[in-house]
Structure 1
Amino acid sequence: MAVAAPRRISPVFLGIAAVTAVAGWAVWSRPGAGPGLGVAVFLFVTGAWVVSLCLHEYAHARTALHGGDASVAARGYLTLDPLKYTHAVLSVLLPVLFLVMGGIGLPGGAVFVERHRIRGRLRLSLVSAAGPLANALFALGCAAPFWLGALDGVPVGFRFALAFVALLQVTAAVLNALPVPGLDGYGVVEPWLPERVRRGVEPFAPYGLLAVFVLLLAPEVNQVFFGLVDGVLGALGVAGAESSCGRDLYRFWQEADPVCAFLVDVTR
């Protein structure tokens, strides 16, 4: 039986995934540090990040479908096409901008779910929780080669880039799980709040994402947060120095860290 058109994987998503794969191959095969490696890392990490954004939103939509909202299929959310999102700027452009500016993985919003169709408060909470859980699974997938010891002999540039992708997924999972209006963490608790509280908080929801980003610019908050993220990554076998070098390679337009550049050159 043919698959219904609204649920076929979008050529747009397949194209993004293909670019990511080609960029990953370029990172793997690029000899030594330099602008060429940096551009390849930039394309690989950005592509992987957009892929994870699509999976994040797909998780919301798929959970909503099983919760009772069939409209997500008609809107094309199950195709993994980022162009189908209600707010393409919030869902793709802003998260990529946050990534480029600060090396922070923070998903935006979102697919439009007809929440009145979802059966029960628990299912409503699960719809919101599905996105951060998708990022957590993505993080585990990226970190698995590290704690399994499967990266022996792998080019260091690729190892650093993969560590940075893992860092982005951990930051996305943790930040988006915060109970801040506009983020998924608040969506998890919202169904259980009194109606008057929900109405009072609703006007602040559009600003929650930006408020979190601004707070992370404060050195004290940034240090505590990334200390937590490094702790999680360390538990997954990813050293903080590796993700830091991955971020350094990603931001190729800045002066390279000589230690990271040396490690890439000496182990090529």
Structure 2
Amino acid sequence: MVKEGGKLERFLAYPPDQILFIALALLPGFALHEFAHAYTAWRFGDPTAKREGRVTLNPLVHLDPIGTIAVFLLGFGWAKPVPVNRFHFRRPRLAGVLVTLAGPLANLLIAFVSLFLWHVLTQWGGVVPTEDSALVRMFDALIGINIVLFVFNLLPLPPLDGYRILEDLAPPHLRVRLTQLETYAIVLFLVLFVTPLGDRVFGPIFSTLVPSVYAGMEAVLRPLFGL
């Protein structure tokens, strides 16, 4: 491990001892997110992603090398976008919303299942976690990162899923306007993420919504585990 202030740590967005856990959480997070887009599009009649081999849970098919490296250097990244041809959809607006929403919901599912398994291990399985143990850090990463991915991808900023949903739900005249502004909005998005301004914009959003989503999942599981 590189000590704090070491040469490696200067170039990483996360402490070196967290990298393995973050990577193991991102693999299913990215893979299931993109699989959900591809599978839902296929079920609604678009064979594009299916033909390109994207209806799979193999993370290597979905990972983008640059986007993956960016996660560890910049603190955010991306997977390969799933190709979707909406002309194949029988009901394009409804299918478009559901295909886009499927990705973030897949991340929420990972977080929920991980939280459920955590309570199974600790409440029913007799596992006594020790502070900062590998098990605790693994489940913290699986739950926390996938909640963040769920919230992050639903932000109404291009190129995120939330913006695509907004476009599909908007009336035609407004949808055209959103498309015209997309290039400028992407530039704004990048500026926010590479400058301290992003902390002021996104900080309150994540500090409010991420704990709220976690609390909601705990509330669902509380009757089952007697929490």
Per the normalisation by structure 1, the TM-score is 0.61
Contact 1:181-1:204 within 8 A present in 2 as well: no
Q: Which amino acid aligns with 2:81?
A: A
Please report how far the alpha carbon of residue 109 of structure 1 lies from its aligned counterpart in structure 2 after TM superposition. Answer: 5.0
- 2:118, 2:139 within 8 Å by CA — same for their partners in 1? no
Change (3 A) 1:233 1:216: farther
CA 145–222 in structure 1, closer or farther in 2 if over 3 Å, else same? same
Larger RCO, structure (CA 8 Å, separation 6 or more): 1
5+ residue gaps, structure 1, are 1-33, 238-268
Question: Does the Cα contact within 8 Å between 1:95 and 1:108 map onto a contact in 2?
Answer: yes
TM-score w.r.t. length of structure 2: 0.71
Number of positions where the alignment pairs a residue of Structure 1 with one of Structure 2: 197
Distance 2:117 2:196 in 1: 29
Which of the residues 190, 208, 220 maps onto 2:167? Answer: 190
- What RMSD, in angstroms, separates the aligned Cα atoms of the two structures? 3.2
Aligned partners of 1:146 and 1:236 also within 8 Å: no
- 2:179 corresponds to which residue? 199
Mapped partners of 1:161, 1:216: distance in 2: 29
User: What displacement does 1:119 show?
Assistant: 1.9
Matched, 1:139 2:111: yes
Q: Report Cα offsets for 1:156-214 as digits up to 9, x if no partner.
A: 33112311221111111001011212111111121233252243134346547535534
Matched, 1:233 2:214: yes
2:97 to 91, 103, 125: 125
Question: 1:113 aligned to 2:91?
Answer: no
- The percentage of aligned residue pairs carrying the same residue is 29
CA deviation after TM superposition for structure 1 residue 153, in Å: 1.4
State the distance in 2 between where 1:217 and 1:96 align. Answer: 23
Give distance in 1, aligned partners of 2:51 and 2:199.
Answer: 44
Give, in angstroms, the shift of residue 154 of structure 1. 3.5
Separation (CA, whole Å) in 2 of partners of 1:109 and 1:49? 13
- Three-state SS of the structure 2 residue aligned to 1:185 is helix
- The 8 Å contact of residues 183 and 209 in structure 1, kept in 2 or not, is answered as no
